[in-house]
Amino acid sequence: MGVDVATMSEWQHVWIQAVQKAWADDAFALELKSDPRAALSKHYNFEVPEHMHFQVVEQKDLPKGEHSCLTLALPPKPNEKDYKIKTASLEEATAKNCCGHPCC
């Protein structure tokens, strides 16, 4: 039930576009908040995996001190033989899939 690197890369691209559209289009912002799965599917042909809990709220509407929550699954440690290959793959994916946020 995991999400692959390609899906995460696509998600980053779609989310940036959706935020920009929501800033420019109040009707889309309402649609995104009321049914984010349908909005992302309709406007960006992006399907949020059904097993993922997903909602969109405006940052100003979060209670003070509360932040968005994202649960990430840490994959099992690869065996010693595969460790260098897996590490190199992760580093390559990270280098190619920066979201453009200042933290990257």
Using an 8 Å Cβ cutoff, are 104 and 33 in contact? Answer: no
Q: Which domain holds residue 29?
A: 5-96
Greater confidence, 26 or 3?
A: 26
* Any domain includes 104: no
Greater confidence, 36 or 59?
A: 36
Looking at residue 7, its pLDDT comes to: 78
* Any domain includes 103: no
Q: What's the rounded Cα separation, in Å, for the pair 95 and 92?
A: 5
Looking at residue 59, its pLDDT comes to: 80
The CA distances from residue 81 to 6, 13, 51, 67, 92, in Å, are: 25, 34, 32, 39, 19
pTM: 0.62
